[in-house]
């Protein structure tokens, strides 16, 4: 281990390096939900959104790989390294499912659904709240609880949209479009569930840190 590494750990600089890396993952996920929203409102076709998502996913994967490498050599971390790893994996799952939402919309020959925009806005708000929470991990831990609480509410917004949209869908006559819509709604619901798991991972880590 180099002297530089030891100094970074002792001064807390490595904590900021780690939070910057997880923030870069969240930035990629926020960009991913932006692409899904652009598809939903018709700004992008599903094929265009799918193509753009490739680069966004690559940036997210790169940020996660750098975080894992940094965790392997860091002497100290702002939260337990296992919890930081779990949180990173959960954020990666959010982006992966946003990718799948866009890809499956294209594969199924469907169009973007404007009715999903409020749920996607909830995902964006939740990710932004988590990003704010991450920025406070190193030296403003008191801000983390409020941010995770806001993110949890946003994840619940996605779940409520799924339930209401499914209830409406099941009142309609069943056809091929109905089945496609059901599958895409389920994928959007999974995005919200993964967001909720990200919130839980960070909340659990902060609870552990407080003891």
Segment 7-25, tens digit of pLDDT: 444 444 568 899 999 999 9
Return the closest-CA partner of residue 90 out of 101, 78, 82: 82
Q: What is the pLDDT of residue 125?
A: 97
Alpha carbon distances (Å) from 207 to 41, 79, 88, 139, 201: 39, 10, 17, 16, 10
Alpha carbon distances (Å) from 74 to 7, 66, 71: 11, 12, 5
Phi, psi values for residue 134, rounded to 5°:
-65, -40
Q: If you average pLDDT over every residue of the chain, what do you get?
A: 90
pTM of the predicted model as reported, rounded to 2 decimal places: 0.89
Query: Residue 3 above 80 pLDDT?
Result: no
Q: Lowest mean pLDDT of 27-36, 98-107, 200-209, name the range.
A: 200-209
Q: What is the pLDDT of residues 65-78, one digit of tens each?
A: 999 999 988 888 88
Q: What is the pLDDT of residue 1?
A: 46
Q: What's the pLDDT band for 101 if we cut at 50, 70, 90? A: very high
Are residues 148 and 173 in contact, defined by beta-carbon separation less than 8 angstroms? no
Q: What is the pLDDT of residues 131-164, one digit of tens each?
A: 999 987 766 767 788 889 999 999 999 999 999 9
Q: Token pair for residue 84?
A: 């930081």
Question: How many Cβ atoms are within 10 Å of 138's Cβ, its own excluded?
Answer: 19
């Amino acid at each position: 281990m180099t002297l530089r590494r030891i100094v970074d750990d002792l001064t807390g600089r490595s904590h900021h390096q780690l939070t910057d890396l997880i923030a870069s993952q969240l930035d990629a996920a926020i960009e991913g939900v932006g692409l899904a929203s652009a598809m939903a409102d018709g700004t992008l076709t599903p094929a265009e959104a799918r193509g753009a998502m490739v680069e966004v996913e690559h940036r997210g994967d790169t940020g996660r790989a750098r975080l894992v490498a940094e965790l392997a050599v860091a002497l100290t971390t702002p939260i337990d390294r296992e919890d930081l790893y779990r949180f990173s994996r959960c954020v990666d799952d959010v982006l992966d499912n946003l990718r799948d939402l866009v890809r499956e919309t294209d594969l199924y020959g469907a169009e973007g659904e404007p009715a999903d925009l409020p749920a996607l806005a909830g995902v964006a708000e939740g990710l932004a709240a988590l990003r704010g929470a991450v920025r406070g991990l190193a030296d403003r831990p008191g801000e983390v609880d409020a941010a995770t609480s806001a993110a949890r509410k946003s994840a619940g917004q996605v779940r409520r949209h799924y339930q209401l949209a499914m209830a409406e869908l099941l009142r309609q006559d069943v056809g091929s479009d109905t089945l496609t819509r059901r599958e895409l709604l389920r994928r959007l619901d999974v995005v919200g569930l993964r967001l909720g798991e990200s919130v839980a991972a960070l909340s659990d880590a902060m609870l552990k840190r407080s003891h």
